[in-house]
Amino acid sequence: MRRVAITGLGAITPLGNSVKEFWDNIVAGKSGAGSITKFDASKFKTQFACEVKGFDPLEYFERKEVRKYDLFTQYAIAATDEAIKDANLDFENMSREQKFDIGVIWASGNGGISTFEEQLSEFHSGDGTPRFNPYFIPKMIVDIAAGVISIRNGLHGPNYATVSACASSNTAIIAAYDAIRLGRASVMIAGGSEAALTPASIGGFSASQALSKRNDDPEAASRPFDADRDGFVAGEGAGAIILEEWEHAVNRGAKIYAELAGGGMAADAYHLTATPADGIGALLGMQKALKDAGLTPDVIDYVNTHATSTPLGDISELVAVNTLFGEHKPAISATKSMTGHLLGAAGAIESIISVLAVHNNIIPPTINTKNIDPDIPQGLNIITGKAVNTKVDYVLNNTFGFGGHTASTIFKKPY
């Protein structure tokens, strides 16, 4: 099957609204967490999150357009605009026929949840007469971001959304990878966006005991693998990746960051929200990614873990990692310690981190982790505190979602 190059990146994140700003803050080990400003969270058990800061939709849309799009779609467009520019793809000067072969697969776990909440609130606070916004449904549905990206750029190739909770955008990237390998497209835009810092979302996750309650010290709240971790920190934003058939990229002289070498998906088949102690779904997903890439575990230099800072999830993932790698000890870090958990967009921004780790030979740190949980397998090479400069040829990126979904991807140096 055809090889797939990564030629463009775009990001809207709690650590910056461009890939450069985002990556610089990741390498510096900064936290994106702070008090929630999007609504009054004073009555909630958790009052902080990793919010996107300084985002102005008018930098990307006309004012009348802004009203048509939920924030998750606005984030998607902003990130894809940067990725398209980064890849030096000039859609305006392409023929319509050339764009028949370019598609979009975009993910979100929650879609337009803020639109949904706002519209129902307005309905119930009124006289009961239905006065819904005509854009209510297209603003809310999960697939609309993929559609808007396609419409905005005139792209006629494969176009749809993937939803697998927090594995959603890694699933989208694997689907785009397969579309190119199977000859269904030459170029694909893939990624995910999430704008779920809303009362219902924070309230729901809080009720399920998933969120950290460290309100007095938000920046230190996300602490994967730490014995004192008490839940994840919710985040928002978007990550976009341009995937391109290898020869197509080479022939047009594109910059190639990395090669997407393999992808694997599996299921825990265990519980709605909890992960099994043996990490079977995570293990199977990683094994399938390695098999797809034709690689053995000993070549992996770095694992970007899903590690959300939850008591059960962190342990089960590292049990799976330990089972897979055995005596080989790749570097491990959890970048959610800085970004928070971007839910359906997590896989996309962590894929960008993985690609840039390969491109720049830098392994980002895990911050806030001081005392490794004794229930985590001993002897693992967990990178804490500061980034490490070292040769990085292969990176494995994990994402897992409620419902037991697992998705793993492998990025390699573009030799």
Q: Which three-class secondary structure state does DSSP give residue 254?
A: coil
| Helix (H) / strand (E) containing 317 | helix 311-325
> Strands 4-12 and 237-245: what pairing?
antiparallel
Q: Could you give the CA distance from residue 11 to residue 238 in angstroms, rounded to a whole number?
A: 6
Rounded distance, CA 159 to CA 175, Å? 11
Rg of the chain in Å (alpha carbons): 20
Instruction: Give the separation between CA 415 and CA 393, rounded to whole angstroms.
Output: 10
Residue among 12, 104, 149, 166 flagged as catalytic: 166
Q: Would you state the structure tokens that stand for residue 183, as one six-digit string?
A: 């000859």
**Catalytic status, residue 166:** yes
CB of 395 closer than 8 Å to CB of 340: no
The size of the chain, in residues, is 415
d(CA 37, CA 202): 13
> 277: number of CA atoms within 13 Å, CB side?
1
The SS3 of residue 408 is: strand
Catalytic positions: 166
